[in-house]
A = this chain, B = another copy of it.
Amino acid sequence: MTKIEALQRIATRLRIHSLRMTTQAGSGHPTTCLSAADLAACLFFNEMRFDPQRPNDPAADEFVLSKGHAAPLLWALYAEAGIIPLAALLDLRKFTSDLEGHPTPRMPWVKVATGSLGQGLSVGVGIALAQRLDGAKARTFVLMGDGECAEGQVWEAANAAARRGLRNLCAIVDVNRLGQSEATMHEHDLKAYGAKFKAFGWDVVTVDGHRIPKILEAYKRIGKAGRPTVILARTIKGKGVSSIENLNGWHGRPLKTDELARALGELGCLPDVDAKAYIKKPKPFQAPRRGRQAPPQRTDYTEKTATRLAYGNAVAALGKADTRVLALDGDVKNSTYHDKFFAAFPERSFQLYIAEQNMVGVATGLAVKGYIPFAATFAAFLTRAHDQVRMAAYSFANIKLCGSHAGVSIGEDGPSQMGLEDLAMFRPIPGCVVLYPADASGAEGCVATAADHQGMVYIRTTRPATPLLYGRDEPFPAGGSKVLRRSGRDEAAVIAAGITVHEALQAAAELGREGIAVRVIDAYSVQPLDVETIRAAAAESGGRVVVVEDHFPAGGLGEAVAMALAGEAKVVHLCVRELPRSGKPQELLDAYGISARHIVAAVKGLRG
């Protein structure tokens, strides 16, 4: 049997598996598996180098299924590679199976969750960058759909890959002409796709995606031009089952049992070939040892300092202590203070320009390979990457995100720059720790906590300089809080975070002058919230609680506290209740009801 014959047989097996699995499940996307089967067979069983025993081998080529709805094809590939039993395929989409409807890293060969289209190429850029940092010869392959090329993020990733000359990155676009609900914009016009990728700096190879010898030839071109390579493959959706080939209306639709029988009649019985024998293993390679070299140093601040500046200092110090730490920027590093890391460790710094979706995707890819990327931009602009943040969390990615310039306290730049919805964005993200330091030491402590936490952490920083509250070595563990004022006769508890902690302290001082004692809590860990301390504070303060935050009403600290206390305390929620305007920071804090004056009034109101 020639290699061509073997690959043809493997492709047929992939098709049969994909059809059977989806019919058995009663849902799924078989036709997109059929269009990509030949491309995938040639990739896994001739081009890619991997050891089926070692999912995390730094020597291995990596694969990202950006078109996540082709999950059955992926599971079929792993079954053919001997990684999962063939019989497991029929458990597709069952609650008890890791073979989900779209890939998730519950299955260890899946490095990132996919299924929100147009994200895989950014992840691929991150993985390819990590392979280069490691000094590995390994490559990264991303299988994409043609439909998802409409997502702007694809072009952000294309830019980044070309800019960095990632010859070890290859995108394979399965141009099967049909989207979910109708034909794609360019249908089978490979030239249209080619012109775009070429303009974005890629080496473009076009091929008939069902002619295996041609596919093998095309794959030989990968990386040869010293640039990232895209294989644009003309394919037929549903290829191999004539009754559904190239037809609209068959995107997310499995064959019925009788249709499957006819399809299998056409494809023939499962052809005999041992795909495992065609796997090419990589040359052994040991990645350089990276990790914590020394305890990170914290700064001893002596004067008012912005938390964003302290954050920048801490990330740079962490970079010195730990060679896994990387810094990513979206061209605001002089505002987030990632510029300190960039100056100190240029080889571990990545300028990704104004493209936040790609920045988060690249961070996810870098984390796949064991790095600890810190990505920072204005809190407002992380909303741009909400979908990517979500998918990173579903991927269990160990990434750290910083949103600077949060709140009306930024002042004159106006609402578009304020990020008044970031806590509501990050708090629902599964497993995400949300930290919001109030002073410089707190910011450094939160960076330390973030570095040591396995999983996503979001740190919210503030633009203006704020007074110092804590000593150099104060710890800021996730789930903690700091009780800044307490007495045996507290009449209310004021719960604040970040900039409003200073307003709360000022309010406490003013109230104190009137003989009214209040407890003040710095709830720097917005998530997980220190529910125990907050409940105790409420109980010991007559059940009177004021929450004050530089955020819109929904989804932030206030609602977190309200839920934690439900039934146990009256809660007055001071927050930004309308669209703010430009103005001076202190003027805005006051105008939007979150300054000391308003806290004083709220406490007095609660006392009745």
Binding site for B on A (CB under 8 A): 25-28, 68, 93-95, 97, 100-102, 104, 106, 113-118, 147-148, 150-156, 159, 163, 179-182, 184-185, 195-196, 198-200, 249, 252, 329, 331-335, 339, 351, 353-355, 357-358, 380-381, 383-384, 386-387, 390-391, 393-394, 411-417, 420-421, 424-425, 427-431, 527, 543, 545, 551-556, 558-560, 562-563, 565-571, 573, 578-579, 581-584, 587-588, 591
List the B side residues contacting A329 at CB < 8 Å: 181
- A331 and B180 contact, CB distance less than 8 A: yes
From residue A219, how far is it (CB to closest CB) to chain B in Å? 24
Q: Which of B115, B351, B560, B581 contacts A417 (CB 8 A)?
A: B115
Q: Which of B159, B431, B563, B582 contacts A571 (CB 8 A)?
A: B563
Q: Which of B196, B413, B545 contacts A200 (CB 8 A)?
A: B196
List the B side residues contacting A104 at CB < 8 Å: 414-416, 581
> Whole-angstrom distance between the alpha carbons of A260 and B27 in the complex?
67
Q: Which of B116, B179, B252, B428 contacts A384 (CB 8 A)?
A: B116
**A-B pairs, 10 with minimum CB distance:** A152-B152, A115-B416, A555-B555, A95-B583, A567-B570, A427-B554, A566-B571, A559-B559, A386-B386, A150-B353
Copy tally for this chain in the complex stands at 2
- B555 and A566 contact, CB distance less than 8 A: no
> Whole-angstrom distance between the alpha carbons of A119 and B559 in the complex?
31
A180-B334 contact in complex given A95-B583, A555-B559, C-beta closer than 8 Å: yes
From residue A336, how far is it (CB to closest CB) to chain B in Å? 9
A152-B358 contact in complex given A181-B329, A181-B332, A583-B94, C-beta closer than 8 Å: yes
> Whole-angstrom distance between the alpha carbons of A28 and B424 in the complex?
29
From residue A138, how far is it (CB to closest CB) to chain B in Å? 26
From residue A272, how far is it (CB to closest CB) to chain B in Å? 31
- B353 and A553 contact, CB distance less than 8 A: no
A582-B417 contact in complex given A156-B151, A199-B199, A353-B179, C-beta closer than 8 Å: no
> Whole-angstrom distance between the alpha carbons of A517 and B212 in the complex?
67
A558-B563 contact in complex given A115-B414, A582-B95, C-beta closer than 8 Å: yes
Q: Can you sample 25 A-B contacts with CB below 8 Å? A: A102-B414, A104-B416, A150-B159, A150-B331, A179-B354, A180-B331, A181-B333, A182-B333, A184-B353, A195-B199, A196-B199, A381-B387, A383-B387, A384-B387, A386-B425, A394-B416, A424-B424, A429-B552, A430-B552, A431-B579, A554-B559, A559-B563, A563-B573, A565-B567, A566-B566
From residue A161, how far is it (CB to closest CB) to chain B in Å? 12
Q: Which of B152, B424, B545 contacts A155 (CB 8 A)?
A: B152
- B562 and A100 contact, CB distance less than 8 A: no
- B413 and A331 contact, CB distance less than 8 A: no
List the B side residues contacting A153 at CB < 8 Å: 152
From residue A153, how far is it (CB to closest CB) to chain B in Å? 5
List the B side residues contacting A351 at CB < 8 Å: 182
> Whole-angstrom distance between the alpha carbons of A492 and B493 in the complex?
29
- B156 and A354 contact, CB distance less than 8 A: no
List the B side residues contacting A545 at CB < 8 Å: 566
List the B side residues contacting A582 at CB < 8 Å: 93-95, 97, 100-101
A331-B566 contact in complex given A100-B581, A413-B101, C-beta closer than 8 Å: no
From residue A259, how far is it (CB to closest CB) to chain B in Å? 19
Tell me the nearest residue of chain B to A117, going by C-beta. B354
From residue A389, how far is it (CB to closest CB) to chain B in Å? 8
From residue A388, how far is it (CB to closest CB) to chain B in Å? 9
Max chain B Cβ within 10 angstroms of own Cβ: one of A155, A334, A545, A579: A155
Q: Which of B68, B180, B355, B384 contacts A332 (CB 8 A)?
A: B180
List the B side residues contacting A556 at CB < 8 Å: 428
- B152 and A416 contact, CB distance less than 8 A: no
- B570 and A566 contact, CB distance less than 8 A: yes
- B181 and A339 contact, CB distance less than 8 A: yes
- B181 and A95 contact, CB distance less than 8 A: no
From residue A518, how far is it (CB to closest CB) to chain B in Å? 17
> Whole-angstrom distance between the alpha carbons of A383 and B333 in the complex?
25
List the B side residues contacting A394 at CB < 8 Å: 415-416, 579
From residue A249, how far is it (CB to closest CB) to chain B in Å? 8
Max chain B Cβ within 10 angstroms of own Cβ: one of A329, A551, A582: A582
> Whole-angstrom distance between the alpha carbons of A420 and B581 in the complex?
31
> Whole-angstrom distance between the alpha carbons of A571 and B117 in the complex?
38
- A100 and B414 contact, CB distance less than 8 A: yes
- A416 and B428 contact, CB distance less than 8 A: no
- B159 and A185 contact, CB distance less than 8 A: yes
- A567 and B555 contact, CB distance less than 8 A: no
Tell me the nearest residue of chain B to A569, going by C-beta. B567
List the B side residues contacting A527 at CB < 8 Å: 554
Apart from A151-B384, A152-B355, A555-B559, 20 more pairs, CB < 8 Å:
A68-B416, A93-B583, A95-B591, A106-B581, A114-B416, A115-B414, A150-B353, A152-B358, A184-B353, A381-B387, A384-B387, A427-B555, A428-B551, A430-B579, A543-B567, A559-B560, A559-B562, A563-B573, A566-B566, A567-B571
